[in-house]
């Protein structure tokens, strides 16, 4: 990629950015002002540190979209821009106050005019109001221009929007800070110098300027992958809203539907959901190509409505696929168990296929597909620990098959398309025979319980205990604490290598587990024989050594092979 055509990058001070007649606009549909007292306090402490140490402070990256004629859209950085403007206003307000009380009246009035021109905007010769250097979004700009820039207290603070309240509280917060700071200063010139030389010169930004929205999104995703908090979802929202903005009724409808989708999914999770949604319909795309894919398919106002309808429909299913108790499953214990298992495994690559299959398969076929994916995921991810990038590609191809088939693709065809993810019995047994679950890790412990309880159900002929709610505990046959008696059988190294092997686990009532604790195997074996759990009674060994442990793990592997199995023709 030729980055010279993508962006222009400079390190600039706040003075550099805000000067030279530039106008900055927050996109109309960008999120509202959201910084709170914690953010303000952090910024103020940084500024005070600059003042004390006379050192520059890095404020991070800002992303601007060049609209020409010194006009820029603030793609990322609006919270910092807005807050620094409020600090400037608080300093100017203090100078106005000094002038009104006849403290260096002429000098401070002149400082007010010069600082307003440098940091806030030019005064219109007709209306005598300021033409702002900064314009906020549709919800905040009126308050910013009408109240903050005119230093006017709101008539009824309680009736303000939440974001407007934050803007006003920010102004009050920094006004108080400036009042405290001024007590240590001699006159208005010190205050003006504080804004010009401390805030203006020593707050540094990496300014990234792009020429179009697609490049802006690419920069968003690149920075986001490096841990910078950006709002790529906002950029997509702005694009969709702009396509219908010519009609106020269409715009209101789109806003409401967008909000509904975001409320269902959650703002933080939306980009991941969008990727799964797109990967259920088109060739596999990475995170950085989401915006490009949307722009390719959504170019007219009617396309926006189609997209949002599809997103809303998919959003409900998507969220249900992560929640076994969702009403979508209507108390069907088999479905709930499968969804719970996939959640436990932490496997999400299958969601694209499951979303589109839920739409086109009948209920029984979907249930069978879900169960098959549980078997695949347990073999591939939990036991085999194979690479997940292969899963993305295979599930993507299967998703496109189902989507393009529009209900004409059978369950058998889908299973054949994902067959390469199904680990063979031999490979599965080999991996299982070496499998350990570190029970000091909460998730590994849950996976171990899940495994043991599934095996318990198989051995007992179908009895179903819930692995997450049943009172049974994981008993380590070779105890976690290596006693002198056990040291005669297992060396310290052998203990470490075998303590968390699945073959060393069983399920046991909690009271019995406490009673035998670190006892020898003979005592434990007697307690096992009185347990209600078949997996305990099924431990066949005269003594517990490495050979017995390996033998049991091999037997459990054979049982597991039959539990997590797909019958291919």
Flag whether pLDDT at 173 surpasses 90. yes
Count the neighbouring beta carbons within 10 Å of the beta carbon of residue 309.
Answer: 12
**Overall average pLDDT of the 204-209 stretch:** 90
Measure the CA–CA gap between 29 and 24, rounded to whole angstroms: 15
**Overall average pLDDT of the 25-36 stretch:** 89
Q: Are strands 23-25 and 71-76 parallel, antiparallel or unpaired?
A: parallel
Domain residue ranges of the chain, discontinuous segments joined by +: 3-217, 230-427, 433-563
**Token pair belonging to 393:** 């590609």
List, as one string, the DSSP characters of 30-47: SPPP---HHHHHHHHHHH
**Overall average pLDDT of the 198-222 stretch:** 79
Per-range mean pLDDT, top range of 184-188, 328-332, 518-522: 518-522
- Sequence-distant (6+) residues with CB within 8 A of 185 are 191, 194
Q: What is the H or E stretch that residue 2 is in?
A: none
**Token pair belonging to 512:** 């019995």
Q: How confident is the model at residue 495 (pLDDT cuts 50, 70, 90)?
A: very high
Lowest mean pLDDT among 173-187, 201-215, 555-569: 201-215
- Residues 289 and 211: beta-carbon distance below 8 Å: no
Flag whether pLDDT at 293 surpasses 90. no
Q: What are phi and psi of 179, to 5 degrees?
A: -60, -45
Range list of H helices, 54-187: 78-100, 105-115, 141-143, 162-182
Q: What is the pLDDT of residue 122?
A: 79
Look at residue 68 and give its three-state secondary structure.
strand
**Overall average pLDDT of the 491-504 stretch:** 96
Flag whether pLDDT at 230 surpasses 60. no
Q: What is the pLDDT of residue 216?
A: 67
Count the neighbouring beta carbons within 10 Å of the beta carbon of residue 113.
Answer: 13
Q: What is the pLDDT of residue 218?
A: 62
Flag whether pLDDT at 463 surpasses 80. no
User: Which has the higher per-residue pLDDT, 167 or 293?
Assistant: 167
Lowest mean pLDDT among 310-314, 327-331, 557-561: 327-331
Measure the CA–CA gap between 34 and 293, rounded to whole angstroms: 29
Q: What is the pLDDT of residue 233?
A: 76
**Token pair belonging to 230:** 């950006």
**130 strand-pairing partners:** 123
What percent of the chain clears pLDDT 90, i.e. is strictly above it? 72
DSSP 31: P
Flag whether pLDDT at 458 surpasses 60. yes
- Tell me the whole-structure pTM to 2 decimals: 0.72
Measure the CA–CA gap between 85 and 80, rounded to whole angstroms: 9
Measure the CA–CA gap between 27 and 239, rounded to whole angstroms: 10
Per-range mean pLDDT, top range of 124-128, 329-333, 562-566: 562-566
Q: How confident is the model at residue 4 (pLDDT cuts 50, 70, 90)?
A: very low
Measure the CA–CA gap between 377 and 382, rounded to whole angstroms: 7
Scored b (16 or more CB within 10 A) or e, 19-37 reads eeeeebbbbbbbbbbebee
- Residues 204 and 12: beta-carbon distance below 8 Å: yes
* Cα dihedral value 195, 199, 202, 208, nearest 10: -120
Q: What is the pLDDT of residues 386-436, one digit of tens each?
A: 877 899 999 999 999 999 999 999 999 999 999 999 999 999 999 999 999
**Token pair belonging to 329:** 């499953």
Measure the CA–CA gap between 336 and 466, rounded to whole angstroms: 12
Nearest to 414 by CA among 434, 391, 397, 430: 397
Nearest to 398 by CA among 383, 415, 380: 415
Nearest to 113 by CA among 136, 96, 100: 96
**Overall average pLDDT of the 484-501 stretch:** 95
Mean pLDDT of the chain: 90
Flag whether pLDDT at 1 surpasses 50. no
Distances (CA, A) of 409 to 116, 374, 402: 67, 20, 6
DSSP 283: S
Q: What is the pLDDT of residue 3?
A: 43
Measure the CA–CA gap between 285 and 277, rounded to whole angstroms: 11
**Overall average pLDDT of the 505-512 stretch:** 96
Q: What is the pLDDT of residue 287?
A: 66
- Sequence-distant (6+) residues with CB within 8 A of 295 are 214, 239
Count the neighbouring beta carbons within 10 Å of the beta carbon of residue 539.
Answer: 19
Q: How confident is the model at residue 330 (pLDDT cuts 50, 70, 90)?
A: confident
Flag whether pLDDT at 46 surpasses 70. yes
Q: What is the pLDDT of residue 19?
A: 85
CA 281 to chain centre: 23
Measure the CA–CA gap between 251 and 277, rounded to whole angstroms: 23
Using CB atoms within 10 A of its CB, is residue 569 exposed (0-12), middle (13-18) or buried (19+)? exposed
Flag whether pLDDT at 6 surpasses 70. no
Measure the CA–CA gap between 224 and 204, rounded to whole angstroms: 20
């Amino acid at each position: 990629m030729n980055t010279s055509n993508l962006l222009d990058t400079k390190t600039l001070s706040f003075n550099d950015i805000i000067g030279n007649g530039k106008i900055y606009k927050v996109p109309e549909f960008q999120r509202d002002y959201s910084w709170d007292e914690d953010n303000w306090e952090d910024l103020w402490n940084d500024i005070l540190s600059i003042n004390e140490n006379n050192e520059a402070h890095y404020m991070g990256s800002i992303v601007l979209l060049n609209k020409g004629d010194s006009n820029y859209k603030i793609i990322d950085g609006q919270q910092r821009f807005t807050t620094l403007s409020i600090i400037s206003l608080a300093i100017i307000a203090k100078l106005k106050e000094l002038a009104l009380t006849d403290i260096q009246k002429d000098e401070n009035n002149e400082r007010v005019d010069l600082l307003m021109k440098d940091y806030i905007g030019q005064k219109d010769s007709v209306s005598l109001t300021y033409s702002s250097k900064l314009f906020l979004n549709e919800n905040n700009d009126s308050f910013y221009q009408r109240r903050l820039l005119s230093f006017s207290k709101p008539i009824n603070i309680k009736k303000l929007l939440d974001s407007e309240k934050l803007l006003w509280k920010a102004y009050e917060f920094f006004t108080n800070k400036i009042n405290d700071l001024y007590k240590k200063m001699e006159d208005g010139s010190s205050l003006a110098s504080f804004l010009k030389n401390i805030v203006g010169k020593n707050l540094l930004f990496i300014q990234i300027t792009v020429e179009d929205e697609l490049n802006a999104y690419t920069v968003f995703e690149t920075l986001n992958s490096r841990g910078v908090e950006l709002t790529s979802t906002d950029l997509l929202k702005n694009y969709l809203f702009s396509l219908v903005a010519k009609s106020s009724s269409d715009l209101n409808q789109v806003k409401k539907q967008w909000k509904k989708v975001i409320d269902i999914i959650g703002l933080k999770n939306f980009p991941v959901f969008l990727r799964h949604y797109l990967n259920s319909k088109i060739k596999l795309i990475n995170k950085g190509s989401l915006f490009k894919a949307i722009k390719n398919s959504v170019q007219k106002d009617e396309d926006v409505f189609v997209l949002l309808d599809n997103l809303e429909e998919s959003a409900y299913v998507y969220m249900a696929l992560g929640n076994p108790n969702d009403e979508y499953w209507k108390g069907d214990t088999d479905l709930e168990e499968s969804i719970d298992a996939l959640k436990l495994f932490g496997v999400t690559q299958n969601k694209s296929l499951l979303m589109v299959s839920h739409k086109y398969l009948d209920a029984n076929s979907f249930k069978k597909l879900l169960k098959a994916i549980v078997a695949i995921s347990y073999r591939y991810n939990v036991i085999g620990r194979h690479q997940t990038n292969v899963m993305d590609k295979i599930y993507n191809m299967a998703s496109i098959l189902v989507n393009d088939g529009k209900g004409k693709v059978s369950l058998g065809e889908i299973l054949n398309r994902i067959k390469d993810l199904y680990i063979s019995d031999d490979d599965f047994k080999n991996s299982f025979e070496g499998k350990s679950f570190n029970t000091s890790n909460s998730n590994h412990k849950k996976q171990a319980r899940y495994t043991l309880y599934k095996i318990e159900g198989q051995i007992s002929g179908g009895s179903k205990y819930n692995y997450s709610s049943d009172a049974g505990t994981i008993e380590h046959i070779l105890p976690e604490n290596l006693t002198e008696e056990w040291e005669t059988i297992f060396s310290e190294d052998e203990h470490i290598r075998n303590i968390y092997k699945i073959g060393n686990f069983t399920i046991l009532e909690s009271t019995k587990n406490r009673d035998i604790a670190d006892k020898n195997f003979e005592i434990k074996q007697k307690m096992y024989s009185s347990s209600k759990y078949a997996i305990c009674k099924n431990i066949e060994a005269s003594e517990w050594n490495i050979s017995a442990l390996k033998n049991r793990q091999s037997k459990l592997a054979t049982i597991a092979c039959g539990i997590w199995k797909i019958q291919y023709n």
